[in-house]
Structure 1
């Protein structure tokens, strides 16, 4: 039988047809893992479990390598064990659910602004006309519900159920996220009133299958147009801090965590598959961040183990 590393190299070269430099890179990553598994973990690396892979990723991180290098290790692990499944050597890929390694600068770029800054932005919008009402509601929903901009622009009237508990101003918003994954979010209190008023406005949609946020022609507002609108509204309000739909999503996650909402619930509201992905959205002090990351392990978040 061909040695696993040699089989892996052959797969990357002949089947996946990766560039020679990429093949050498991934093979080096797996060779390092094999050495660690045998010397430190005392296991056959081919039959490593999720906990062993997490232990290795922790070692790689602690060695001080770059985020891009960590991503190389993650990719090589996933590809190697996918090959082992393909060859019927193992039943399940233990690295399949390792979350993508996000670069720090991306997270920092989306650093949330203080709630007072969002209130300032919202207060600056003139809601005497329909467009102001629409723009105010768009920003409020991105911030209060943590929606992706693509989820917001895809919303149709039928997705909102104002009668869920109308007497107590509680509506239900059904959102379709990535990979057509659906989730339901509660729309309550002032946001509920604003959304109901928006839909009852003379120029708002009245049919069930039309977009909640249309442009003048009746088609849904685009993602780019939402981004440009927020940028223009910030300029008018004299706000120089960077506020985008994704920044507002980070604001939502951070505000929820500060309010004591469990990471499990924040994960569900954001539509994430893994807590590790949700933790990236939580911008808090180092102490609180450590607590958030600890929850990943303490509350059963290691779903690939």
Structure 2
């Protein structure tokens, strides 16, 4: 049903028609300004819901204040069970409509000004315990030569994800020139093309060293990527990393759903648990806002001794790592 047809259908409801008449004028102006039909329809739907609320309260647009708006929004969330994203879209439509009313001299106050929609608490990320990660990373080498070769690469990838808290996109974007095995660090290009230097655990460095001879045999066309597809000889995709992690988890007898970002979550949680240094972990994760890092502070913090080498369970040397 079109907006015009919607208005015709309520002609017998004089109060609602009166409320929606300026809405129709506003939408006609937006249509002339080349707003899409989808946008106009969404705007109408959102503003119409507030109009229905005001009609029920026997109020006009100019009688709607923040208190009335809050009641309407609460009703949309609690009674109508509308998703938060949909409510936000309706609120945006109402904000734009009141902006137009004020421009036209039809209203003096925009009730959405300064109104904050309360967001649901951000869900905590899933975390695997250290024993489960050891089960994944320390599993026996597969028996077949082909699978054994792939495991050397896969183990190196998973060790780096957990060792340095990388996003999977950052992992597959690593070039050979980004790794410094002597000083145990990585140069990572993250969101917004921002570069950061992060520590590399000893176990991750050892896994990379064991993988590199195979990488050098597989590589085609002088590809600079660190992690290479054995079949194609070119940079591995994020999807391939996801699939290989599931294969490795199944082979290790792990029932929990394993995915690359889980290893990043585990890095953050275990580092904070061992160090309590939120700023340091923020830097290593590449978060621009520390509030993003604070989601991991639900863990119990142990006393800080050293931010990385002592806090990370796989950062220390052991005799088995010496070649």
Provide TM-score, normalisation by structure 1.
0.60
Q: Give the structure 1 partner of residue 262 of structure 2.
A: 247
State how many pairs are aligned. Answer: 254
The reply on whether 1:17 has 2:37 as its aligned counterpart is: yes
Could you tell me which of 114, 126, 129 is aligned with 1:111? 126
Could you tell me which of 131, 150, 156 is aligned with 1:137? 156
Cα contact 2:47–2:90 (8 A) shared by 1: yes
Could you tell me which of 154, 167, 177 is aligned with 2:173? 154
Q: Give the structure 2 partner of residue 203 of structure 1.
A: 214
Task: Report the CA distance between 1:210 and its aligned residue.
Answer: 1.4
Relative to structure 1, the CA distance from residue 173 to residue 6 in structure 2 (aligned partners, 3 Å threshold; closer, same or farther) is same
Task: Report the CA distance between 1:142 and its aligned residue.
Answer: 1.7
Find the aligned partners of 2:266 and 2:190 in 1 and give their Cα distance: 21
Find the aligned partners of 1:147 and 1:158 in 2 and give their Cα distance: 17
Provide TM-score, normalisation by structure 2.
0.57
Relative to structure 1, the CA distance from residue 218 to residue 153 in structure 2 (aligned partners, 3 Å threshold; closer, same or farther) is same
* 1:168-201 deviation line (CA, Å, top 9, x unaligned): x4x2322233xx43231423341453265146x3
Relative to structure 1, the CA distance from residue 219 to residue 101 in structure 2 (aligned partners, 3 Å threshold; closer, same or farther) is farther
Cα contact 1:157–1:208 (8 A) shared by 2: no
Cα contact 1:9–1:27 (8 A) shared by 2: no
Find the aligned partners of 1:159 and 1:79 in 2 and give their Cα distance: 47
Q: Give the structure 1 partner of residue 248 of structure 2.
A: 233
Counterparts of residues 1-305 of structure 1 (less than 5 Å): 6=23, 10=27, 14=31, 15-18=35-38, 22-27=42-47, 38-39=65-66, 69-75=83-89, 107=123, 111-126=126-141, 129-162=148-181, 166=183, 169=184, 171-177=185-191, 180-191=192-203, 193-194=205-206, 197-198=209-210, 201-205=212-216, 210-216=224-230, 217-279=232-294, 282=296, 284=298
Give secondary structure in 2 for the equivalent of 1:242. coil
Tell me which of the two structures has the higher relative contact order, counting C-alpha pairs closer than 8 angstroms and 6 or more residues apart: 1
Greater C-alpha Rg: 2
Give secondary structure in 1 for the equivalent of 2:188. strand
Relative to structure 1, the CA distance from residue 19 to residue 256 in structure 2 (aligned partners, 3 Å threshold; closer, same or farther) is same
* 1:208-243 deviation line (CA, Å, top 9, x unaligned): 851111012320122222111111111111111111
* 1:47-75 deviation line (CA, Å, top 9, x unaligned): xxxxxxxxx8xx969x7589963223444
Task: Report the CA distance between 1:276 and its aligned residue.
Answer: 4.8
Find the aligned partners of 2:79 and 2:279 in 1 and give their Cα distance: 30
Cα contact 1:13–1:19 (8 A) shared by 2: no
